[in-house]
Structure 1
Amino acid sequence: MTLSTPLLAAAPLLAGLIGPALIGAAPAAQQADRPAVAPAQAPAHTGGRTTGHATGRAAQNAAAPGDIVEHVAARTAADQRRVLDYWTPERMAKALPIGLLDIVTDDGLLSGLTGDADLRTTPELTGRRADLTVPRELVGTHRMAAARPDTSTIGARWMTGGLVSRTTGRVFLTVAGADFVCSASTVRSANRDVVVTAGHCVKDGAGAWAANWTFVPGYGTRGTHPYGQYTARRMFVAGPWSRGGDDDYDVGMVALATSHGRHVADVVGTQEIAFDAGRGGQAFGFGYPADPPYDGGHLVYCAGRLKDDPYGQSRDQGLGCDMTAGSSGGPWMTKFDPATGKGTIMSLSSFKYSDDRRTMYGPYFGQTIKALYGTAQNA
C-alpha cells in the first residue's frame, strides 16, 4: 500500500522487526569505498523472507573469505568533532530504530517523519509492511529480570551488571537524511578499537553507507554516556552484503576513533569472538530494543538454545527473543558467564520472519566474517 503523511500521524505504530529494505539501486561508489580484493560475482538471491533483506541459500551465495568492502568515515579530528557535535541529546532521543529505514525514505516522507513527529506514535501499518508490526499481545509485557539471570527467556532487562553492561552499547547513525539507532559490542582486537554490529547498521545493503556513526558503550537511562562516545573512522562489510544485502553476511565491523585519547577497549573492556563455532547450544543475546514493549533506555537480554533456520532460507541460527527494532547488531554469546558478564560473540541480532515474532535470527560467523574481523582489527 502507499503511505501518506496524514496516515502516519494518527495512532500508535507498533514497529518491531529488525532489518531495513534496500533503497533502490546502488549509488555511484564514493572514493573512500573500495573492496579489499576484487569482488566475487554477485550472488543470486531467492525470495521467501519478508524482512526487506535480499536473501539466498548459502550454497548459492558463498563468498570468498577476502571479499571485504571498506568505507572511510570520520578520518580527521575535525570530522570526529563534527559527528560528536551532531549528536545532541535531542537528536539522540528522536533517533528511530533502523528497522524503519524503508518507511521513512519511501515516498519522500522524511520531512514529515523526522522532525517533531515520533514514529512510535504513528499508526500500525498493514499490507506490504505488515512484517514491521509487533503482536498486540506482546505490548505491555516488558519484564524485569531477577537477580540471577535466566538461562531461558525471550526478553528481560539485564540487571546483573558485569562486563557485558559496558561492552554493549547503542549506535547512532544517519542514513538517507534520517537518524537511526542500533546496538553493538566491543570485541578483542589488535588495534583496541573494533566493535561488531549488523551489516544493515553500517551500510544499507547495496545502498548508502551510514554517516555520523557513533558508538555509546554502556548507554544509560535518560541518554547518559558514562564511558564516552566513539565515532567511526573506518567501516567494513562483506561483499555479499554490500552488493545485495545477503542476510548470511549481515555483519559490520567498525574501527573507532579514540575518545579523549583513549581506545574503547581500554575504557570498557572487550568480549571474545569466535568463528566456525559448533552450531546449536546455549546462547545469550543482548541489545537495546527501542519499540514497544521496550523504550531503548535499558540493556535487554534473551537466552536459550540456538536452532537452525527452519525455512532453509539462510545459514543463520534462531534464538527465542521478542526484542524489537533497535536491538539490531546486538551481540550473541556462547560460553557466557552471567556472574562476570564475559562471553564469546558468535553471532548478532539480524532479522525475524513475519510469521514468527518470537524468534530472532543471527548470521553464522564463518571464514568471510573472520576475514572481515581481521581487516578491521588491523585498520
Structure 2
Amino acid sequence: MTLSTPLLAAASLMAGLIGPALAGAAPVRQQADTQAVTQAGTQAVVSASSAEHGDIDGDTDGDIVEHVAARTAADQRRVLAYWTPERMAKALPIDVLGLVERGLTDGLSGITKGLTGSAAPAGGAAGPAGGAAGAGGDAVLPSPHELMAAARPLAPARPAKPATSTVGSRWITGGQVARTTGRVFLTVAGADFVCSASTVRSANRDVVVTAGHCVKDGSGEWAANWTFVPGYDTADEHPYGQYTARRMFVAGPWSRSGDDDYDVGMVALATSRGRHVTDVVGAQNIAFNTGRGGQAFGFGYPADPPYDGSHLVYCAGRLKNDPHGQTRDQGLGCDMTAGASGGPWMTSFDTATGRGTITSLSSFKYSDDRRTMYGPYFGDTIKSLFRTAERA
C-alpha cells in the first residue's frame, strides 16, 4: 500500500490532465498496483506454523511466499553495478508508478480507482479519475520525471532536539536509528524506484523489514535489482555499504490479493565485503501482538515535496485505529511522502540512543487525510514471516 500524498499533490500540477474527484466520494486507500520486472529466481510457498500465543487482534496464521533474488556472487555484483550514482539520483518514489501506469484510465472502470490504482470502497471513489484528451481523444500522460519536476520547497525546519509529537522533522540526533534505517533501491516495470527499510535483530543477522509493496506487487510480480543502503545520506550515499537481496518473503494474504493488513516484506540480504548487515550497523528489536495505541516514532526517507529523499525524517505521536474500519492498521500523524514506504515505526523508542522496538511501518494514507500515515499491525502472520526470513 503506497502513500497517496505526493500523487494528490501532483494532481494540482496536472489540472489539465486529471479530472476532479467525484463529489461525495468515500475515502480510498491508495495503492500502486505495480507490475515489477521479475529477477532471475524462483517462487515458493513456505509453510508457516502457528505462533505459540493466539493473536489478540484477529490475525490469521497464513502461508509465507518466497522469492529467490540475487543468489550467486555474480548476481550480486550485477545488481551492485546496476546502481550507479546517476541511477540512484534519478530513482523515483515507487508510489508514482501507479499514477503513470493506471491513474488516468482506471477512473473509467466499473470500480472507480484512485490515482494509485486502489479499488474504492462501495459507494464511490476518492482519487481523481479520468483524464484530458489529447490528439485523437487519447489521454496524455507525462513521464514520471515530468510529474516530479515541480520546484521543491525547503524541508521543514530542524528541531533543537527530538520532539515527542511531530508530523515530519529531519532526524539530526544520530544514534542507532541513523544507521539501521536506510533507503531501498529497486526496479519495477523497467523504471527505478526508492523505498525505506530497517534492519532488525535476527538469527542470520541479515534481515530487513519494509513494506510488502516495496518487495512484491501484491498478486503481481516481484521487484528486481533490490538493494538496501543503510544510513543513506547525500554527503556519503552508502557509508556502511550496499546490500543486495538474496531471498524475499511476504505473507500469503499480501501475495494473493494485496491485503493491506499484511503489507509487510522481510528480506534476507547478502553480505557486503563478507560482513552481515547487522554486524556493521546494528539492529532494532522487533515485537508482535503488542498492545494497540501508545506512543510511536516513525522513520523514513520521503522523496516527494516538501522532501527530497536526501535525509532521514521522523514523525512522532500517539497511534490511533483506522477511523474507516477498512483495516486493522493504526494511524500516526505524519506528513511524510512517497519514498517513506516501508520505514520503521518504533515503540519504547529512546531518543538519546536511537534504539527502539519495531511494531509497524509506513504503508498507506487515505485520500481525504494527507497528514495521517497508516501501518499494519504485527500479529502472528507477520511473526511467522519474520521467523521464516531469519532462518533463510
**What TM-score bracket applies, with the shorter chain setting the length?**
0.7 to 0.9
Aligned counterparts, 1:229-248, within 5 A = 229-248=242-261
The separation in 2 between residues aligned to 1:269 and 1:150, in whole angstroms, is 24
- The CA distance in 1 between the partners of 2:349 and 2:14, in whole Å, is 35
Change (3 A) 1:30 1:37: farther
Task: State the partner residue of 1:311.
Answer: 324
Tell me how far 1:144 sits from its aligned partner: 2.7
TM-score, normalising length: structure 2: 0.78
Indicate if the aligned counterparts of 1:230 and 1:259 stay in contact, CA closer than 8 A.
yes
Measured against aligned partners, the alpha-carbon deviations of 1:180-203 in whole angstroms (never above 9, x if no partner) come to: 000000000000000000000000
Which residue of 210, 219, 244 corresponds with 2:223? Answer: 210
Matched to 1:121, the amino acid is: A
Q: Any idea what the Cα deviations from partners look like across 1:125-184, whole Å, max 9, x if unmatched?
A: xxxxxxxxxxxxxx7473233232000000000000000000000000011111100000
Secondary structure of the corresponding residue to residue 200 of structure 1: helix
Gaps of 5+ in 1: 1-8, 40-57, 124-138
CA distance in 2, matches of 1:325, 1:158: 17
2:202 matches 1:189: yes
SS, match of residue 240 in structure 1: helix
1:175 equivalent in alignment to 2:185 = no
Aligned 8 A contact 1:147 1:160 in 2: no
Corresponding residue SS for 2:365? strand
Q: Secondary structure at the match of 1:344?
A: strand
Q: Identify the residue that residue 35 of structure 1 maps to in structure 2.
A: 45
1:366 to 367, 376, 379: 379
Question: What is the deviation of 1:274?
Answer: 0.4
Question: Is 2:39–2:225's contact at 8 Å kept on the other side of the alignment?
Answer: no
Alignment RMSD, CA only?
3.0
Structure 1 residue aligned with 2:131: none
Which residue pairs with 1:22 in the alignment?
Answer: 33
The match for 2:60 is 63
Output the CA distance in 2 between the equivalents of 1:352 and 1:281: 20
Match of 2:148 among 104, 120, 137: 120
Q: Distance in 2 between matches of 1:295 and 1:13?
A: 20
Give the match's secondary structure for 1:357: coil
Distance in 1 of aligned mates of 2:30 and 2:277: 27
Q: Which residue of 1 aligns with 2:71?
A: 75
For the residue of structure 2 that corresponds to 1:295, the secondary structure is coil
For residues 306 and 176 of structure 2, the distance between their equivalents in structure 1, rounded to whole angstroms, comes to: 25
Q: 2:93 aligns with which of 80, 93, 97?
A: 97
Q: 1:150 to 1:258 in 2, by over 3 A?
A: same
Give the letter aligned to residue 363 of structure 2: S
Q: Against the structure 1 CA distance between its residues 253 and 12, is the aligned structure 2 distance closer, same or farther, given a 3 Å change threshold?
A: same
For residue 23 of structure 1, report the CA deviation from its aligned partner. 4.8
Partner of 2:166: 153
Q: Which residue is 2:54 aligned to?
A: none
Moved over 4 A (4+): 9-14, 26-31
| Alignment-derived partner of residue 7 in structure 2 | none
Tell me the percent identity: 72
1:121 shift after superposition: 1.3
Size of the aligned set, in residue pairs, is 329
Within the candidate set 295, 303, 317, 1:290 is matched to 303
TM-score, normalised relative to structure 1: 0.80
- Gaps of at least 5 residues in structure 2 are 1-9, 16-27, 50-56, 106-138
